[in-house]
Amino acid sequence: MKQFLDYLHKITPLSADAQAAIVAKLQKAAYSKGEVLIKELSKCEHLFFIEKGLARAYYFKQGKEITDWFGLENSVIGPVVRHFPTKTGMHSVELLEDTVVISISFYDLQELYDKYHEIERLGRMIAIQTILSMQQKIDSMQFLTAKQRYHDFVKAYPSLLQRVSLGDIASYLGMNQVTMSRIRKI
Amino acid sequence: MKQFLDYLHKITPLSADAQAAIVAKLQKAAYSKGEVLIKELSKCEHLFFIEKGLARAYYFKQGKEITDWFGLENSVIGPVVRHFPTKTGMHSVELLEDTVVISISFYDLQELYDKYHEIERLGRMIAIQTILSMQQKIDSMQFLTAKQRYHDFVKAYPSLLQRVSLGDIASYLGMNQVTMSRIRKI
DNA sequence: ATGATTTTTTAGCAATTGCTAAAAGGAATC
DNA sequence: GATTCCTTTTAGCAATTGCTAAAAAATCAT
């Protein structure tokens, strides 16, 4: 669980006591490529940390799959900041590679929030980090052309280009796959 | 200060003790239409609550003013969730009407976070609410046409149509003012 | 009111992006 | 190696949106 604690520590320092309380509630599990980690995100009762592997969150919009998140190693996904029934239809998380996740139940997390002020702070910090990355996404969608968004993505996540299908990347970037193919050609 | 405490209470209940600690740090001030409330948001040392009036946050993008937030009554703006140097150039907040704001310094707020677990929770909740509204913005920008975004805005904030210039609304909605005018014509 | 300034609309054209359908390329299976 | 399935690219056309410039309308100050 060291990797997860390191991840948390970089966000905000935690006492040994709080760290131990967290570890006591953690569960580690391995899944295979193609498995569905979370069937319905809005009803998900756990928070996940991806220790190793790759995940993809997606939902359906007019019959089409829309990818709205990629989870590389050291990513967090779950109800902490995503427990909203905003998307219509199923919002799921599937694994694109063999993946090791660490999970904590939302119930346990709430208990930790109640008991440890510093963990509540951690939750606030993670939420603020999420806000920051969402703001970047908003800015890129509002001002960058499809071409710029694609090239920024390639620069930011070069490894994903090899590990994820281009169709998923196109939907993540909010453009038609045909458009993205045209961009790649140039 | 009752209006502000009511606003907070709806987000998460606060003890009388915590409420008193907050009130002790608050300051109320009145400004006139046209004044600049915050000159540089990323360096702003205060959190503001708009008790009455209307504010607008904007920045410059290639010489053009981009509005990225409207603050109606019962809105919060400040470093809690916005203290990021993401925008290039000046990011300011001006008042579109005579406005009464309640403010708290970021320093005092941090002190309150440290001292009161429940206020830290409040901060987390406000961050989560922000995430929710940002997700809605992302979804609307990714999937809705300019026409749909405009009509959704009108439905959501009918009063702003009277109180804000159409150019500001267009930039807020991420479209050319000329495009918006075309949409309105139909 | 009158003139000046700002805001909004209109017009014409260009660029970007989306859509459908088909072809090409790759990967998996037998 | 052939077949099948899935992914990616290509092609042609349509729709949306952006841009510039100018006209019209509204607002503001004197």
Domain spans of chain B, in order of start = 2-114
Pick out residues whose CB falls under 7 Å from strand C.
A 145-147, 174-176, 178-179, 182-183; B 165-167, 177-178, 180-182, 184-185
* Å separating the CA of residue A178 from the C1' of nucleotide C22: 13
Please check the confidence at residue A29 and state whether its pLDDT lies above 70. yes
CA atoms in the 13 A half-sphere facing the CB of A159? 6
Q: Which amino acid is at A53?
A: G
* Tens-place pLDDT, residues A68-100: 899 999 999 876 544 455 566 678 899 999 999
User: What per-residue confidence (pLDDT) applies to B84?
Assistant: 54
User: What per-residue confidence (pLDDT) applies to A156?
Assistant: 93
Average pLDDT over residues A120-136: 90
Reply yes or no on domain A2-114 having CATH 3.40.800.10: no
A135, A137, A140: best to mutate for the B interface, most B CBs within 10 A:
A135
Least confident of A117-121, A176-180, B42-46, B148-152: B42-46
pLDDT band at B83 (very low <50, low <70, confident <90, very high): very low
* Tens-place pLDDT, residues A139-167: 888 889 999 999 999 999 999 998 999 99
Q: With CA atoms as reference, report the closest residue to B44 among B10, B18, B78, B4.
A: B78
* Nucleotide nearest to B179 in CA–C1' terms: D17
Average pLDDT over residues B118-133: 91
Average pLDDT, chain A: 89
Please check the confidence at residue B162 and state whether its pLDDT lies above 70. yes
Q: With CA atoms as reference, report the closest residue to A146 among A170, A123, A166, A126.
A: A170
pTM for this entry: 0.90
* Tens-place pLDDT, residues A54-74: 999 998 887 788 898 999 999
Average pLDDT, chain B: 89
Return d(Cα B61, Cα B90) in angstroms, integer: 10
Highest mean pLDDT among A4-13, B30-39, B130-139: A4-13
Question: How many CB atoms are closer than 10 A to CB A28?
Answer: 12
B67, B114, B136, B138: best to mutate for the A interface, most A CBs within 10 A:
B138
User: What per-residue confidence (pLDDT) applies to B41?
Assistant: 82
| B135/A134 Cβ within 8 A | yes
* Cβ-Cβ contacts under 8 Å for A128 (sequence gap 6 or more): B81, B127
Residue B153 φ/ψ, nearest 5 degrees:
-65, -45
Q: Which amino acid is at B16?
A: A
Please check the confidence at residue B149 and state whether its pLDDT lies above 70. yes
Average pLDDT over residues A6-16: 95
The dihedral built from the CA positions of residue B94, B130, A129 and A122, taken in this order, carries a sign that is positive
* Å separating the CA of residue B176 from the C1' of nucleotide C7: 14
Least confident of A165-174, B60-69, B145-154: B60-69
